[in-house]
Amino acid sequence: MFLGTTSEGPVRGRRVVVTGVGVVACCGIGVDAFWDGLLGPAPEGEHRVAGFDATAWFGPKEARRVDRYTQFSVAAAHMARDDAGELTPDPDRAGVIFATGVGGLESLEEQSVVFQQKGPNRISPFLIPMMMPNAGAATVSMRAGWHGPCETITTACAAGTHAVGAAARLVAGGRCDVVVGGGSEAAMTPLGIAAFTNMTALSSEGVSRPFDARRDGFIVAEGAAALVLEDLDHARRRGARIYAEVVGAASTADAHHITAPAPGGSGAATCMELALADAELAPEAVGHINAHGTSTPLNDLAEAQAIAKVFGTPGPPVTSIKGVTGHALGGAGAIEAVSVVLSIDRELIPPTAGYGEPDPEIPLDVVHGGPRSWEPAPVLSNSFGFGGHNGCLVIAPVRD
């Protein structure tokens, strides 16, 4: 159902479709392994990406000169480009928008130890390019040989969603024919984990329970994902496989607190409404919500209140894949965008792992216990970050 004419929005203009996806996550590397992981039990213990071999994408010497988050960025983008098939756009009309919340923390932390123990002369000459947040996007761009916009978004846990929205905007506005949008994070260092622990953001039980009455914090994770976003006509001319279409995006700020959400989820609700307006969709047209759902008491409640404000209760089926993936910070929104695309493509909504005891203050239709079959429809994907950053995407099946 369309609402009629609205002013130009973030992705208004040429139609933007997803023609390739790639993912590196703790529940699986590559699309099929990732999807199987989403439908299975949550990993136990730390949510690191096990079995990741950087030399599959870098030579041994080069791999030592790039941070783990850049390695993830390149791997996810490479898989997405491979998935997109023969992709040879005009290099001047192809770009990269990638996100991270922290950047090369692992390299910075390791070299800080070197500095303290061995002195400044022993610091790696590659430290700056290893730690800088834009290294992921830059390396992806160089690997592809694309000369269009190459930018990095660092809006905390909303960054991955903002990156996909900004990438779609470049295609919709006619600046680019193809853009790789995504996000990456590898901040599971001793310092990073200690910092999250001491601010009491992490689950004391080591279990992610999005929207559950027993939730007590998130599980920090690492990972990356990338999507090839392409002008619909460009994709059709080359006979590309088309997964889905990005039909709306929005961004707002709570302007409330550096870590806590605005009361009642007011900023999040506005962001959802703007994304739907950009997509020219009424709330009842949305068939599924991919929630931010970090498993923290305040954030899950605020998001649920925002969903109820926009959609009523119980509203569309809601899933948070963070019950399986944990929270990959700046990479989370991109990982979740890939899960949305696969949910449309495979006609299944993944369950919310860890959910078992409903919270009476959260009267949502939380998908749990197993995947749910559905007739694919537009999906709203939410991401909210420290600093009050809100990002929403609307991804839909392609309709002629």
Known catalytic membership, residue 292: yes
* Closest listed residue to residue 337, CA positions, set 192, 167, 212: 167
Please give the backbone phi and psi of residue 60, each rounded to the nearest 5 degrees, phi first.
Answer: -55, -40
- Contacts with 209 (C-beta within 8 Å, 6 or more apart), sequence order: 203, 215, 216, 295, 323, 354, 355, 356
Say which amino acid occupies 396.
Answer: A
Known catalytic membership, residue 234: no
Catalytic residue among 162, 327, 368, 389: 327
Catalytic residue among 26, 27, 157, 392: 157
Catalytic residue among 292, 368, 389, 392: 292
Give the C-alpha distances (Å, rounded to integers) separating 214 from 9, 150, 301, 308, 325. Answer: 39, 42, 12, 21, 18
Question: Residue 351, preceding bond cis, omega within 30 degrees?
Answer: no
* Closest listed residue to residue 186, CA positions, set 64, 100, 295, 293: 100
> What are the beta bridge partners of residue 231?
16
379-385 and 288-290: which strand pairing? parallel
Known catalytic membership, residue 288: no
**Positive or negative: CA dihedral 349, 300, 182, 379:** positive
Residue 319: count other Cβ atoms within 10 Å of its Cβ: 31
Q: Which residues are catalytic?
A: 157, 292, 327
